[in-house]
Amino acid sequence: MTDTPRDEPHPTAPGPWPGAPGTAPLGATLPTATPRDDTPPAPRRAPGVRTAALLTAAVLAAGATGGAVTGLVMHDGNATTTVAASVSRTGSTVTAASRSTGGTPETAAAAVAASVVTLEVTGTQPAPGFGGFGGGQGPVSDTGSGIVVRSDGYILTNNHVVSAAAGGGTVRVTFSDGRTVAAKIVGQDATSDLAVVKATGAGDLKAATFADSDKLEVGQTVLAVGAPLGLSNTVTEGIVSTLNRPVATGESGAGPQAVLDAIQTDAAINPGNSGGALVDLAGNVVGVNSAIATTGSSGGSQSGNIGVGFAIPSNDAAAVADQLIATGHAAHSQLGISVGDAGTPGATVRAVTAGGPAERAGLRVGDVVTTVADRRVTDANSLIVAVRAHAPGSVVTVTYTRGGTQSTAQVTLGTASDTR
């Protein structure tokens, strides 16, 4: 069961978040939000040719576990279920320093080409209202990308790529060799903006190998592979610009707690790249391309690449993919609090769930959380990322101030499930 409230910005905390009152509907372009001191200019999703909902900077790691794990544990009340990992992983990555011996863009592109697919999606989404009245549902066609994670047809993508098809629409997969087959949605997770589909009648596919994203280095060469603007089998080159960048997903139905602990890259990412692979020079997946930054426009048109793109780290993506394949949904860590920005570095506790992890550890309303484990907390969103960098059930050290005095607490993280 999901505790309420979750670890999310309090409703009175600074916003706005995509989909919240006062923001534009999916597919529109908002004016650039005023960034916080540590945030990039208004990022947005880079889904299909249809959408590119603006994102505000924030943070979330989706129930992440370590890199080369063989299984993960899901906690639901008193029950514990072991989910065997099905995504192929390796502990190695290729760094910028070893480019000459570890691979080239050409060899990396060739290695991953057969594992990246193009997705064509039809369905419905809420139509814009007029004069305060709802607009009902409208037809949608979308193009995005996906990554083959199992040879028997399981494909990982962004939830925002396929969500329109969840109510009875269609998903079709085109492989790098031109074959096209139907697919069905296996599981969705709006909080991490990830989903898994299964290609019908597909076998002997080449599954991608996921590298350990914890070993990524700033400046490392990476390639973005996908179908920008519907142009399948496109490869672009860049570097890892920074790590652990807070980016809100803007995913409908997920709430403001849906934020990514993103890899920022200058590899060109455009609408249609969403769900595609960010790979190292060995051709191993280090991230799932999910969002782009935009300077904003009042005209409502979709902006293209400006050199600031965001990807979900491979460790987070692989962990969620394993859960979606096994159970159809994913679980995420939580403290059991609502938080807001403190005005100074840290996140202020606005509400505490009765009987939740934070209350049991002694946290109170008004405390200002400054670190979780080894992660510095600068604002409400960075707290979400810091918490979700650990699996449910993990024991973490939380540092906070109360009345000007710094203290620490050992907190056993709870579980928030997302069935979207």
Structure tokens, 195? 């989903």
Check if the beta carbon of residue 149 is closer than 8 Å to that of residue 208.
yes
Check if the beta carbon of residue 198 is closer than 8 Å to that of residue 153.
yes
Check if the beta carbon of residue 186 is closer than 8 Å to that of residue 325.
yes
**274 catalytically annotated:** yes
Query: How many residues are present in the chain?
Result: 420
Other beta carbons less than 10 A from residue 145's beta carbon: 31
Q: Helices in 245-287 by DSSP H: which ranges?
A: none
> What are φ and ψ of residue 96, in 5° steps?
-60, -35
What SS3 state is found at 381? helix
Query: CA 247, CA 40: separation in Å to the nearest integer?
Result: 9
Check if the beta carbon of residue 31 is closer than 8 Å to that of residue 162.
no
The catalytically annotated residue of 3, 7, 115, 160 is 160
**316 catalytically annotated:** no
The catalytically annotated residue of 3, 7, 189, 193 is 193
**193 catalytically annotated:** yes
Per-residue HEC secondary structure of the chain comes to: CCCCCCCEECCCCCCCCCCCCCCCCCCCCCCCCCCCCCCCCCEEECCCCCCCCECCCCCCCCCCCCCCCCEEEEEECCEEEEEECCCCECCCCCCHHHHHHHCCHHHHHHHHHHHEEEEEEEEEEECCCECCECCCEEEEEEEEEEEECCCCCEEEECHHHHHHHCCCCEEEEECCCCCEEEEEEEEEECCCCEEEEEECCCCCCCCCCECCHHHCCCCCEEEEEECHHHCCCEEEEEEEEEEEEEEECCCCCCCCCCEEEEEEECCCCCCCCCCCEEECCCCCEEEEEEEEECCCCCCCCCCCCCCCEEEEEHHHHHHHHHHHHHHCCEEEEECCEEEEECCCCCEEEEEECCCCHHHHCCCCCCCEEEEECCEECCCHHHHHHHHHCCCCCCEEEEEEEECCEEEEEEEECEEEEECC
Just list the catalytic residues. 160, 193, 274
